[in-house]
Amino acid sequence: MSLYARMVKLQSARIGQRPDSRGQAILVTTSAEKGNDGQTEVWQGPGVMGVPPDVAYGILLPAGSGSFDAVVAVQNYALAPPSLAKGEAMTYSTDAAGSLLKASIKHRSDGSLELNGNSKRLVTNDLVGILATFITALNASLLAAGGTTVSLDISSAITTTVKTGG
């Protein structure tokens, strides 16, 4: 069996299952020179998954006995490469057209992570603990002045996920 890879244009992408596949996967409809159009799976490394935009290109490799092909790499020329230093990496998403960067995580060479650019700041201290200390001090002052105490419940702000954007 010879291994012959070729570049193909990705026409559309969706999640589904081919009849000859072992399960659900990201499927792309491809077009290539000489009319070799088809539908195949996108194979990606562990822990990384993405549905490519329709403007992307991919490297198509035959798999198995040659009756099954897989796109193993994708390049999106509609999106300018990000500014990265040597040793850095980035994961990102785009709009459906593939031309606008929407969300990103840069893995910097100094070990830091940059979420959606460096113009937004996230709270990194124990905000719940700081506010509890503030309310305790405020209540002590209010009681000393003969007033009533206040309470603040921000337990709904506690999360295990981080979302930026505004």
pLDDT in tens, 61-117: 887 666 778 899 999 999 988 889 999 999 999 998 999 998 889 888 988 888 887
Task: Please tell me the pTM assigned to this model.
Answer: 0.65
- Residue 88: per-residue pLDDT: 94
Cα 117-123-124 angle, rounded to 5 deg = 100
Q: Phi, psi at residue 102, to the nearest 5°?
A: -110, -55
Please list the residues that pair with 15 across neighbouring strands. 26
- Residue 62: per-residue pLDDT: 83
What percent of the chain stands above pLDDT 70?
81
More confident residue, 141 or 6: 141
Residue range 47-61: average pLDDT?
Answer: 90
Q: Tens digit of pLDDT for each residue in 5-41?
A: 888 999 999 999 988 888 999 999 988 766 667 888 9
CB count in 10 Å sphere of residue 26:
18
Does the pLDDT at position 50 exceed 60? Answer: yes
Domains in the chain (CATH in brackets) are: 6-75 (2.40.50), 78-121 (no CATH), 127-157 (no CATH)
Among candidate residues 38, 46, 45, the one with its CA nearest the CA of residue 62: 38
